[in-house]
Each structure stands twice: as C-alpha cells, then as structure tokens.
Amino acid sequence: MRKIILSSIAALAMTSTAFAEVKIGNPMGLTGPIPDLVAPMAKAVDLAAKHVNEQGGLFAGGEKYTIVRADSACDPVAAVDAVTKLININLVSAIIGPVCSGSTIAQAESVSIPAGVVTLSVSASSPAISSMEKGTDLVFRTAASDAYQGIALAELTLAKGIKDIAVSYANDDYNAAIAGVFAKSFADKGGKVTANEAHEPSKASYRSEIATLGATSDNLALFAYYGSGGITVMRNALETTAFKNFIGADGMLSQEVIDQLGAENLTAVTFTTSASDDSTAAYGAWKSLADAAGVPAADPFVPNSYDAAFMMALAVEKAGSGDRDKIAASLRLIANAPGEVILPGEFAKAKKILAAGGDIHYVGAAGPQDFDENGDVAGRFSKSVVKDGAWSAELIK
C-alpha cells in the first residue's frame, strides 16, 4: 500500500511539474561562424521570456514561459541533433530558431516538420525556405527573405555607380541563395556580373580565387560568414589590392571584421542587413526595453529575435495551452491584423484582451510581423559602412 501511495504522489508531482511551465526550444548558433552576431540575439530571446514571466506568465495559473537553449552551431548536422533532443527529450512545444538558413532547413525537413512542431526562425533568410514543405504551415520566420535583400543590394550597388562586379559566395544555403538573387537582379537591372564563383568555407587562403575574380572587375560582391572564411577573403583581397569596392550582406556585419582588418582599410565597404524603422512607436517601445536591459537594440536580427520569442508566448497564450498542434494557427492570429495593437513588452495587456475573447495584432521591434501564406514577413533593409571604428547603419528600404 505504501508503494502505491508513493507512486501516486510521484505521478502527481510529475503532472504538476508538467503543467507548471511551457517549454520552447531555442537552437542558436552559439558557436560556429558567427557567434558574436548570435550572442545578443540570444539575449533578446531571454529578455522576451523575462517580460512574459514578470507580467504574470502564461494563462490564468501563471505558468512559466521557459526557453530551453541548444547550440545549433550554424551547422545542419548539429542543428538536426540539437532539435531532435529539444523535441524528443526536452519535449518543447515549439522551436524559436535556428539562426542560419542551412540549419533551419535541415532541422525542419528532418525533425520539426515530421514531428508536427512549429519552427519560428529568428534570422534564416534563404529564399528556399519560402517554398519548403508547402501546405504544412509549420515554418515561419521574423526576418525577410533574401529574395528581397538581394534585390535591394543590387539596387544599392548600381546607385553607387558600380556597373560591373565579380561575385564570390561561400558554398552554403544562405550565401549561395542571396548571391544568386543579387547576381540575377544586378544583371536584370543593367549591371554586368563579370564572374560568379563559389568558394569553400574555412580555407587558409583564397589568393587564387581573388586573382581569378580580380582579373574581371575592380568590384567584389562577397557573400560569406565572417568566421568561416569571409575575413580571410577580405584580407587576401586587401593585401593584393585587387578591388576598389566591396559590397555584401549581413554574414559579414560583425565588429570582428573591423578589429581584424582595420577600419582604415574598410572605407570602400558596404554591407546590408534586415533593419527596423526606428521612427515607429513599436521600435521606440523596444529600444526602451532593450536599453534598460543592456541589449543592443539595433544589432542585426536582435529585434527579430525578441519578436520571435514574444510572439511565441502570445501564440501559446492564444492557444490556451502548449499543445503543439494548436500553435501554428494561433501564431497567425496574434501576428496578423486585425486586432488591438500590441507593442513589444505589452504581454499583460495582450493577456487581458485574449482572456476577454478579444483579438490582438502584434507590431514588433523589427516592424509588422504579418505572415504571408509561406510564413514569411515583409522587411526593410539598411546599409552599413565603417565610421569611427564601428559599423554605422542607414535605412535604405
């Protein structure tokens, strides 16, 4: 009898624990090619969870909103392993992340989609994600597709007076995809792509590649992660004075690039990234919260990371539980108009409206987060140049 009683108590304790929190998996590229970019993104995710829990937690019972972090390392294999554990061992309700496109695609196809678990990426921007597993409605993202950024970058390049350009891209899902969009758009708009070559990440030297590309143009479009070859490509190009101008995207937008190569050598470099409109009320609310927490409000994909974590909490609240099969529909309902506007940090307000049967429309730190049929959002972009030893951004689209 005593064993039966103890077993019953243990079962009750497990049940109570199970309903005391809703766990969300957060695979982030904490190691790998871009850890400096990812660190503040992870802080933004944690800040969103903090705001939810400080404002009463989830549901009437105040259940804890728990972020379970894992390292996807911006590597497809590592991402599959990390998400498999999050879903099957940690029993998370949904996934926020991963960061890189290759990781996002690999884990979604192999793990999260077959398991019926929603993925909401904070920064994966490959155009391939838009058409992946159509009809499942299980993959979303808070960052705009590079189908748009590549076009914006081509327009910016032409506006700078650059009429011909050589293209070098790292052989991975993200960099190959945006390079393809850029090259096509640049050519369609009247520019000349003199060379378009893949390079393998993490080589000790790219001098032969630079020599080949430099023989075709004075301008280089570089698509790479700074920590897995991007800096080396830039260093080799600068050492050989092969190019006068450099353009590229957010995989290179790190302070480490400046620290290693020297600000004085980067006066002809322009990189683009997803950006927020800092004139909006939503961004103002976000910046106040971020500044108070010591989170860099305007760093690449940091606002998007906060939005993803905050929206996931709103979706779970709307669903009324952490049931995996309810989250996708709820995510659309809280993100897309109509509904009363909810700004970053306004979880208590949203919770009250939902409890009364009302509708909400989250307008985020990174801008409106209305999802289209593919789970994509529209976006704006900024151009960054080196100024006073750091990256200085200006909104372009």
Q: Is residue 269 part of a domain?
A: yes
375 within a domain of the structure (yes/no): no
Count Cβ atoms below 10 Å from residue 216 Cβ, excluding itself: 18
Is the same domain home to 271 and 296? Answer: no
Give the pLDDT of residue 136: 85
Residues spanned by the domain of 193: 147-276+380-395
What is the spatial distance between Cα 210 and Cα 218, in angstroms, rounded to a whole number?
11
In a domain, 373, yes or no: no
Q: Is there a domain that residue 303 lies in? A: yes
The number of distinct structural domains making up the chain is 2
88, 231: one domain: no
Regarding whether 169 and 249 lie in a shared domain, the answer is: yes
Q: How far apart are the first and last CA of the chain?
A: 71
In a domain, 192, yes or no: yes
137 within domain boundaries: yes
| Closest residue by Cα to residue 124 from 287, 329, 308 | 308
Statement to judge: residues 192 and 254 lie in one domain:
yes
Residues 235, 215, single domain; the answer is: yes
Q: Which pLDDT does position 396 carry in this prediction?
A: 86
Dist. CA 167–CA 154, nearest whole Å:
12
CB neighbourhood size of 187 (10 A): 14
Can you give the pLDDT at residue 118? 98
Alpha helices in the chain (DSSP H): 2-18, 35-54, 76-88, 101-107, 113-115, 146-159, 173-188, 207-214, 230-239, 255-261, 281-293, 302-319, 324-335, 347-355
Same domain, 79 and 104: yes
Do both 13 and 116 map to the same domain?
A: yes
Q: What is the largest CA-CA distance in the chain?
A: 85
Residues 208 and 337 in one domain: no
Same domain, 122 and 211: no
| 28: nearest Cα among 70, 60, 85 | 70
Q: Do 162 and 210 fall within a single domain?
A: yes
The CATH number given to whatever domain includes residue 105 is 3.40.50.2300
Looking only at the bridges linking them, the beta strands covering 94-96 and 119-121 are parallel
| pLDDT score, position 1 | 43
Q: Is residue 342 part of a domain?
A: yes
**pLDDT tens across the length of the chain (397 residues):** 433 433 343 333 333 344 599 999 999 999 999 999 999 999 999 999 999 999 999 999 999 999 999 999 999 999 999 999 999 999 999 999 999 999 999 999 999 999 999 999 999 999 999 988 667 899 999 999 998 999 999 999 999 999 999 999 999 999 999 999 999 999 999 999 999 999 999 999 999 999 999 999 999 999 999 999 999 999 999 999 999 999 999 999 999 999 999 999 999 999 999 899 999 999 999 999 999 999 999 999 999 999 999 999 999 999 999 999 999 999 999 999 999 999 999 999 999 999 999 999 999 999 999 999 999 998 889 999 999 999 999 998 6
**Residue among 299, 392, 282 nearest 345 (CA):** 282
Radius of gyration of the chain (CA): 22
Buried/exposed code over 164-174 (b: 16+ C-beta within 10 A; e: otherwise):
ebbbbbbebbb
Q: Is residue 329 domain-shared with residue 357, that is, in the same domain?
A: yes
> 110 with 50, same domain?
yes
338 found inside a domain: yes
The pTM assigned to this predicted structure is 0.89
Other Cβ atoms closer than 10 A to 14: 10
Instruction: Beginning with the edge strand found earlier in the chain, give each strand of the sheet holding 94-96 in spatial order.
Output: 64-71, 21-28, 94-96, 119-121, 139-141
